[in-house]
Amino acid sequence: EVELVESGGALVQPGGSLRLSCAASGFVFSSYVMGWHRQAPGKGLEWVAGISVRGGTTYLADSVKGRFTISRDNAKNMLYLELNNLKTEDTAMYYCTKDSKAYQAVGPTISPDFLRGQGTQVTVSS
């Protein structure tokens, strides 16, 4: 059974930093594009970051480019998202996401039938 378990969300002040983690199991982690979606209150799901199967190529949405960094450790089946210089508009539930098909390219979209975890809450407020 595929399992994606996020952690690391918290309440932080504007300008602060966080590191989100995702522990993956139940599939060949190194064969899939992975990434992060987020959903702010009252808004739709946003694909904010993706990473290729070996980690050599990443995608970051314009809204987070220069502030967020995505990485993965295939030996540990772990996915990470470093969030720096956080803004109030980054407040959202963040979801670890697995592509539905192996060995796809990473980019501004992901296969529509992706799988995501339960999420971890990031709240940016003073």
Please report, rounded to a whole number, the percentage of residues in the chain having pLDDT higher than 70.
Answer: 100
pLDDT in tens, 28-81: 999 999 999 999 999 999 999 999 999 999 999 999 999 999 999 999 999 999
**HSE value, Cβ hemisphere, 13 Å, CA-based, for 27:** 21
38/65 Cα distance (integer angstroms): 15
The gap between the terminal CA atoms of the chain, to the nearest Å, is 40
The mean pLDDT value of the chain amounts to 96
Q: What is the pLDDT of residue 72?
A: 98
Q: What is the pLDDT of residue 44?
A: 95
pLDDT band at 109 (very low <50, low <70, confident <90, very high): confident
